[in-house]
Amino acid sequence: MKLTAITASNYYHKIKETGRNTTGSFLPPSCNSLCADKVTFSGTPKNLFIKDMRELPSLGCGCCGIKMLKNSSVNNFLNKKIYYPASIALKRIKIEKYFNESHASEEMKEAYNYLKEYAEQYPHLTINDILAKRTVKDKRKQLPKEVSQAFDEIREITKLVAHNSKYMVDEITKLNPDFHKIEKRVFKELQSLAQDYPDETFFDILNKPQIKKIYLTKLQDKQLNVLKIAEEAAQNLPDNLKVKIIENIEKARNIFTEESGDILHKRSRVISSFNSIFSTDDKSKIAGEEIMQIINQLPDSKTDVNSFLIKGAQKSSNAIVEILLSRVRSTYEHVKPHHREGDNGASNISNYIALCGKCNSERQRTGYDIFTQLHPEMIDNAQAQIDKIIYFINSGILIGHDNYPQKIQKALDIESKGKIKVNIDKLDITKAKINRKLRQEVFAEEQKKENKKPKIFKFGKGYFYKKILQKPEKHK
Ligand SMILES: [Zn+2]
């Protein structure tokens, strides 16, 4: 069923001309000044209302401003495009020797066999789909804890089974994410590798010695360069400190060049070794500040393409895609941090803004007064996000958020110590209520046309629509 032809806007004007809406009641006089926004009922009627702001189309990150991918789009993409259906993945983890039954514990065997049986019954489901089934959840509750945990372990193993690189880059291209700078360059690199080795997985390609060497050499050059700059800066420090720093730089050089290719944790080991030099007394701490600033410039997988690819080579093909997408997906960010000592921020929408995964993980618990010094663009981008959210509230699309702008305005003000002051003057709940009603009515009309018995609508009960519109899930 399609509702694309009707917009709330032209429907609204139709009512304005006749002075009546479809139920025959006159609109209140205040409505004449309102002009409903041009809103299309695009796609599935499931989108008649949106209840979760992470699901708003093309919402800009409240910090960096990039267009985020909807949370559900990323989930669907991973589940339907990237992971294999469980029926295939469970077979392949054996063939590709990720899971060796003869060495597996009894718990793992039991979990594997249960999942395999289920997957054969429903061959199109992914392992995530299966684990989300009520029957499976109930079954797990009855099982010993170790067996239940083994279900999750099997799930993680199935994620190692991957499509070839050509398929991966084609699918990501179709999704068209608005990547950040580094991720854009990573993806470009993956595209070029996929051209050279279309039938192999990212994991296999990145682990080819000749390819790994290219990225590792580039990464080491950067690491050594940072150490060289630190060495130069150390020359101006008091002798006792200088000696310690130079010694430590030498150690760091060895860590980066002479140890195994396993780069996980190397950077954090080096940084903490420098921190320990300067943490002894206040004097050395101040002297070390400049050195620490330089050392913190050591490339990592968030700031450097080579580091990303080397780390990716130690994870899996699917993990690479997951990480790339997680950085542009829309996530809830606690304005007042959730884990602030003695004073936790609430986990509900009055304390959430939507940030991309990258900004969310960067912020951690930093107060916005400090964070906005590093990211001054946040002040404008938070406003742009609130504007868009208000637009969707006024249009009658985003429901359950009528009090949100006011609450978030206050939360941002407090958390940023007055630096982020958003304007919410455009919020118009009267308009929102009218538009919601219009949307319901248009929707009901369409239902009638399709000879479906009109049913009572209730806000905040998304499953009502699902019940009407979607046939119950059935699988062969
Ligand atoms: Zn961001």
403-417, pLDDT tens digit by residue?
A: 999 999 999 999 999
Of all residues in the chain, the percent with pLDDT exceeding 70 is 82
CA of 352 to the centre of ligand 1 (A): 14
Measured in Å, residue 67 CA sits from the centre of ligand 1 at 9
pLDDT classification of 276: cutoffs 50, 70, 90:
confident
Between the CA of 387 and the centroid of ligand 1 the distance, in Å, is 17
In angstroms, what is the span from residue 48 Cα to ligand 1's centroid?
Answer: 27
The pLDDT of residue 281 is 66
Between the CA of 319 and the centroid of ligand 1 the distance, in Å, is 20
CA of 63 to the centre of ligand 1 (A): 5
The whole-number average pLDDT for the span 257-274 is 81
Which residue reads 């420090």 in tokens?
A: 237
Q: Count other C-beta atoms under 10 Å from residue 21's C-beta.
A: 19
Let me know how long the chain is: 476
Q: How is residue 5 written in tokens?
A: 């032809």
Q: What pLDDT shows up at residue 454?
A: 52
How far is ligand 1, taken at its centre, from the CA of residue 70, in Å? Answer: 13
pLDDT on residue 453: 58
Model confidence at 321: pLDDT above 70: yes
Distance 382 CA to ligand 1 centre (A): 10
- Is residue 468 pLDDT above 80, yes or no? no
Cα of 128 to ligand 1 centre, how many Å? Answer: 27
The residue ranking higher by pLDDT, 434 or 29, is: 434
Distance 78 CA to ligand 1 centre (A): 21
pLDDT, position 282 = 64
Q: For 163, how many CA atoms within 13 A lie in the half-sphere containing its CB?
A: 18
Mean pLDDT of 324-346: 90
CA of 19 to the centre of ligand 1 (A): 45
Residue 71: pLDDT band (50, 70, 90) is very high
Work out the pLDDT band at 142, boundaries 50, 70, 90: very high
pLDDT at position 455, please? 54
Q: What is the mean pLDDT of residues 19-39?
A: 33
Q: How many CB atoms lie within 10 A of CB 364?
A: 9
Tokens at residue 394, please? Answer: 């006024």
Ligand 1: distance of its center to the CA of 359 in Å? 4
Compute the distance from residue 377 Cα to the ligand 1 centre, in Å: 10
Instruction: Give the residue with greater pLDDT, 295 vs 341.
Output: 295
Strand pairing report for 3-7 and 352-356: unpaired
Task: Judge whether residue 136 has pLDDT over 50.
Answer: yes
Calculate how far, in angstroms, residue 191's C-alpha sits from the geometric centre of ligand 1: 24
Cα 21 to averaged position of ligand 1 atoms, centre (Å): 42
Residues of the chain with pLDDT > 90: what percent?
A: 68
* CA pair distance 437, 445, nearest whole angstrom: 12
In which band, very low, low, confident or very high, does the pLDDT at 289 lie, cut at 50, 70 and 90?
confident
Give the pLDDT score at 465.
41
Q: Which long-range contacts (CB under 8 A, 24 or more apart) does 10-17 make?
A: 11/36, 11/438, 11/442, 12/36, 12/434, 12/435, 12/438, 15/438
161 pLDDT more than 60? yes
Ligand 1: distance of its center to the CA of 61 in Å?
5
Dist. CA 361 → ligand 1 center (Å): 10
**Closest among 330, 350, 392, 354 to 48, alpha carbons compared:** 392
What is the rounded radius of gyration, in angstroms, for the C-alpha atoms of the chain?
Answer: 27
Task: Say how many Å lie between the CA of residue 104 and the centre of ligand 1.
Answer: 42
pLDDT for 268 beyond 80: yes
pLDDT of residue 259: 66
pLDDT of residue 199: 97
Q: For residue 193, is pLDDT > 90? A: yes
Q: Does position 212 have pLDDT exceeding 90, yes or no?
A: yes
CA–centroid distance, 360 to ligand 1, in Å, is: 7
pLDDT attached to residue 452:
62
Q: How far is the CA of 90 from the centre of ligand 1 (A)?
A: 36
Per-residue confidence (pLDDT) for residue 334, from 0 to 100: 94
Give residue 268 CA to ligand 1 midpoint distance, Å.
24
Question: Range with the lowest mean pLDDT among 233-247, 390-404, 412-426?
Answer: 233-247
pLDDT at 447: 79
Q: 407 CA to middle of ligand 1, Å?
A: 21
Distance of CA 325 from the midpoint of ligand 1 (Å): 12
CA atoms in the 13 A half-sphere facing the CB of 228: 6
pLDDT score for 11: 32
Distance (Å) from CA 54 to ligand 1 centroid: 13
State the distance from the centre of ligand 1 to the C-alpha of 169, rounded, in angstroms. 23
What's the 357 CA to ligand 1 centre distance in angstroms? 7
Going by pLDDT thresholds of 50, 70 and 90, the confidence category of residue 262 is: low
C-alpha of residue 64 to centroid of ligand 1, in Å: 4
User: What is the band of 252 on the pLDDT scale with cuts at 50, 70, 90?
Assistant: very high
Q: Residue 381 C-alpha to ligand 1 middle, in angstroms?
A: 9
Whether 461 shows a pLDDT value over 80: the answer reads: no
What distance in angstroms lies between residue 22's CA and the mean position of ligand 1's atoms? 43
C-alpha 143 to ligand 1 mean position (Å) = 42
What pLDDT, in 10s, does the model give residues 165-186? 999 999 999 999 999 999 999 9
Band of pLDDT at residue 82, cut at 50, 70 and 90? very high
Domain ranges of the chain: 1-68+329-476, 84-158, 163-326
Compute the distance from residue 68 Cα to the ligand 1 centre, in Å: 8
Mean pLDDT on 284-292: 80
Residue 23 has pLDDT above 60, yes or no: no
